[in-house]
Amino acid sequence: PSLKNPFISCLFCRYRGFTLFLTFLFYTAYHLSRKPISIVKSELHRNCSTVIRPADLNITDNATWCDWAPFDQDNYKTLFGVLDNCFLVAYAIGMFFSGIFGERLPLRYYLSAGMLLSGLFTCLFGFGYYWNIHSIWYYGFVQAMNGLMQTTGWPAVVACVGNWFGKGKRGFIMGVWNSHTSVGNILGSLIAGVFVSSAWGMSFIVPGIIIASTGILCFFFLVEKPEDVNCTPPQHHESGEKEPLLHSSSSSERIFSGSSAISSEPAEAAEDHTEAISFCGALSIPGVVEFSLCLLFAKLVSYTFLYWLPLYISNVAHFEAKEAGDMSTLFDVGGIMGGIMAGLVSDYTGGRATTCGVMLLAAAPMLFLYNYIGQRSIGTTIGMLLLCGGLVNGPYALITTAVSADLGTHESLRGNARALSTVTAIIDGTGSIGAALGPLLAGLISPSGWNNVFYMLISADVLACLFLSRLVYKEVKGWCGRAPRQRG
């Protein structure tokens, strides 16, 4: 049915808005269930000299009596790094396969199963408190399995949103929609903070129940694409559209091995005959490699803050675990504003790469300033956390949403919607390698001083910017009208 029919158009908008809301809710739950570990760290290893010891407690070690073994030794930061990387390495490896499965399985079933299993493993971490488990192997295994289950989320939700929204205002819409990452982090911090000082196991069990519940919601209510409810899919490309970053190239005309051009068949028939894109075919889409490598370093910075910021605030500003967790949410509030701003600017200018490059370049000196003056007063701390959160998470949000959707629905793909999940998985999977490296390096470097951790983060921001330099140059030349003509 045509969208020119007012009734069909209204129905389409309702389904589209409902899908946007559901996918926002789903990925909020994904991030909500990842956050507790960063809040609980400062409870697993504490400064026991400041804790009132129960009178009936018989102990031999006054320095570590309040800590949770095996995190009661001097190598606790290394062990925290191991836990982070069990999750993140599994996530990075699984992400490259997740997009492939996401293209070939119904997204509704795929997302539902992923959220239910992720809820199970999140709860299992919390059960370690009640079962009195003190094995690093148990917690490492649970974290690794949770990391694998979490890979079901991102390619699937981006594919769903990409199926329902055309390119026109994609940057702004996805900038607002991508605030689910920060909203999830904030809610995860607040929920975990409620229980962290009394029974830290509940800091994991409650988020685990929440994400499992959203998995049930997904199974019954998610509509994957407009065709499922007899609506016409949106137009992903405008006729005569020119974009410096995502231009068609001869190499991308042969992306699908063994597939023939589909030009005279109706859209529905073309949909049925298209093949899932190959991994190498997705890499050959212009811009995929550059944005993937940029995201590797951008996500390294973002996830280091995600996992280590509460502990940094607790150590440097001497806050309690709950207070440090609450304060760290300001970084995510800034991330919401940064993601929306990046989407608006990139929509207005048409320069996705330039928008990311400018924000990454500005983030480097802001991180330096935050480390040196960020803890001088509560006002300075709040302001610097908001600013750094916006500059760090803005490019990360733009690349993982609007840029991924642009590249996954590139005009050279001839309308093959099945490419979107693979392209998203490649970009986010490469970024997840950085997400795994960041917390690991922070765990290894932090014993030598937090200054060195920030130097590492600043270097990563600069490298992320450098990987976009060719695309930024191409966009700027396009704006100036000096773009060289393509050779035939």
Average pLDDT over residues 221-236: 77
Would you state the structure tokens that stand for residue 269, as one six-digit string?
A: 């028939």
Max Cα-Cα span within the chain: 84
pLDDT higher than threshold 60 for residue 4: no
**Strand ranges for 228-311 from DSSP E:** none
pLDDT in tens, 439-488: 888 888 888 888 999 999 999 999 999 999 988 988 888 888 754 544 43
- Helix 6-34 to helix 136-150 angle (10° resolution) is 170
| Domains with residue ranges and CATH for the chain | 6-242+266-481 (1.20.1250.20)
- What distance in Å separates the CA atoms of residue 120 and residue 117, rounded to the nearest whole number? 5
What is the reported pTM?
0.73
CA 274 centroid distance within chain: 29
pLDDT in tens, 264-285: 334 443 444 455 566 677 777 7
- What distance in Å separates the CA atoms of residue 385 and residue 323, rounded to the nearest whole number? 15
State the pLDDT confidence band at 154, using cuts at 50, 70 and 90: confident
What is the per-residue pLDDT for 298? 93
- Three-class DSSP category at 395: helix
Burial label for 251, CB within 10 Å (0-12, 13-18, 19+), is: exposed
What is the per-residue pLDDT for 481? 72
Average pLDDT over residues 311-319: 81
**Strand ranges for 30-126 from DSSP E:** none
- What distance in Å separates the CA atoms of residue 338 and residue 351, rounded to the nearest whole number? 16
Contacts of 128 (CB under 8 A, 6+ apart): 138, 139, 142, 201
pLDDT higher than threshold 50 for residue 255: no
Average pLDDT over the chain reads: 80
State the pLDDT confidence band at 310, using cuts at 50, 70 and 90: confident
Average pLDDT over residues 220-241: 71
Percent of the chain with pLDDT over 90: 33
Nearest to 172 by CA among 386, 405, 475: 405
State the pLDDT confidence band at 206, using cuts at 50, 70 and 90: very high
What is the per-residue pLDDT for 9? 66
A 10 A CB-CB count for 205 gives 22
